[in-house]
């Protein structure tokens, strides 16, 4: 059984190199019947491949898919046969590291379509396969070809608007997941997983390979690799430290029903029902005064020792400036076990 499959409509530069690919109906773990049809129609010999498809191949593929009852994919192949843009039929036999731009785009689509979750796919090495592009009101343009396109637009009485210059496009140009609100779509990259019920306000940001389980209010930054649990609220201007921004190999996550206050931040994973006071940034090495239910000091530890524990309140003492953590008895007992060999 193969890992993933997609028929994509893409953009190429003047040298015939892929710039981006749009997969309207990506498939994860396609069944053997579907893959047998693809194999025969595209002369697929195995492995991970992104094959350029001709109109004739796509028409034959559409007929074959219809005969085996794959109506949706057949309709897509039939429409793709009339595409004015190049078409890629991409097959991932395994979830190995991508080797082409269409393969990367298929993986990013799988996440944004909620077919795979962050950390569920191998995304190592994708930056070298994603060209830095001008994202315009006329689609993706190779930066070397941009000046000529801008001039041509002016000569024709049009203005070519460059919305961003980046390796990643905004997610909503490719997929809008059901049940979400996104106030500024430019702040959610393709490859983000936006769970149903999530609201992303104007200052909210979700990177690729990151996102929310659902029913979350996002007014802060969800960095690459960070997943936020249901019911959690990220206050305005707050931050989560991702693996691309100094977190190293630590997987930062936010549990369910957590609150990270405005302009606060975390460099450790939070368990469920945790709160971080507004303006307080906690890194793994932050010294934390652990308090019991009577606000008595238990011990001073590093924040990393409280990673993934539930029901914690992180705050700063207004008199001493020390970072404190108010916790319940079970968390203190767990912490004592952690330090038993010291």
Q: Is the C-alpha dihedral spanning 105, 111, 113, 116 positive or negative?
A: positive
Is 279 labeled as ligand-binding? Answer: no
Ligand-binding annotation for 277, yes or no, is yes
Torsion of the alpha carbons at 161, 164, 168 and 169, rounded to the nearest 10: -40
Is 50 labelled as part of a ligand binding site? no
Do the annotations mark residue 181 as ligand-binding?
no
Sign of the CA dihedral running 326, 329, 334, 336: positive
Q: Is 219 a catalytic residue?
A: yes
Exactly one of 213, 219, 256, 324 is catalytic; which is it?
Answer: 219
Q: Cα separation of 240 and 220, whole Å?
A: 8
132 assigned binding-site residue:
no
* CA atoms of 158 and 152, how far apart (whole Å): 8
Of the CA atoms within 13 Å of residue 195, those in its CB half-sphere come to 18
10 known member of a binding site: no
66 belongs to an annotated ligand binding site: no
Residue 137 assigned ligand-binding role: no
249 is in an annotated binding site: no
Q: Is 145 within any annotated ligand binding site? A: no
Report DSSP state, residue 97: P
The DSSP code sequence of 174-231 is T---TT-EES-GGGBBTTEEE-TT-EE-TT-EE-TTEEESSS-EE-SEE-TT-EE-TT
* 114 marked as part of a ligand binding site: no
Residue list for the binding site: 203, 221, 236, 239, 262, 277-278, 285, 302, 315-318
> Which residues are catalytically annotated?
219
Residue list for the binding site for succinyl-CoA: 221, 236, 239, 262, 277-278, 285, 302, 315-318
């Amino acid at each position: 059984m193969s890992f993933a499959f997609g028929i994509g409509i893409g953009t190429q530069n003047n040298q015939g190199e892929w710039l981006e690919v749009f997969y309207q109906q990506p498939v994860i773990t396609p069944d053997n019947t579907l893959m047998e049809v693809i194999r025969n129609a595209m002369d697929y010999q195995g492995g991970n491949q992104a094959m350029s498809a001709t109109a004739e191949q796509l028409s034959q593929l559409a007929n074959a898919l219809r005969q085996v009852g794959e109506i949706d994919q057949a309709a897509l192949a039939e429409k793709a046969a009339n595409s004015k843009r190049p078409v890629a039929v991409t097959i991932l036999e395994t979830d190995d590291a991508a080797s082409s731009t269409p393969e990367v785009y298929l993986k990013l689509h799988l996440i944004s379509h909620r077919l795979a979750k962050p950390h569920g796919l191998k995304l190592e090495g994708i930056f070298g396969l994603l060209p830095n592009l001008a994202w315009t009101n006329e689609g993706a343009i190779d930066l070397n070809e941009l000046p000529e396109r801008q001039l041509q637009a002016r000569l024709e009485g049009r203005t070519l608007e460059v919305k961003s210059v980046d390796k990643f496009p905004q997610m909503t140009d490719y997929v809008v997941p059901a049940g979400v609100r996104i106030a500024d779509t430019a702040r959610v990259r393709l490859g983000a997983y936006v769970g149903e019920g999530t609201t992303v306000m104007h200052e909210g940001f979700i990177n690729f390979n990151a996102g929310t389980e659902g029913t979350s209010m996002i007014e802060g930054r969800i960095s690459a690799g960070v997943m936020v649990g249901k019911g959690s609220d990220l206050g305005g201007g707050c931050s989560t430290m991702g693996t691309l921004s100094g977190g190293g190999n630590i997987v930062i996550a936010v549990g369910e029903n957590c609150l990270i206050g405005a302009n606060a931040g975390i460099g450790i994973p939070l368990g469920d029902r945790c709160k971080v006071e507004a303006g307080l940034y906690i890194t793994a090495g932050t010294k934390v005064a652990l308090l019991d239910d009577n606000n008595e000091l238990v011990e001073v530890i590093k924040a990393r020792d409280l990673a993934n524990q539930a029901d914690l309140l992180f705050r700063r003492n207004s008199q001493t400036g020390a970072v404190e953590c108010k916790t319940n008895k079970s968390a203190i007992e767990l912490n004592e076990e952690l330090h038993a060999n010291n």
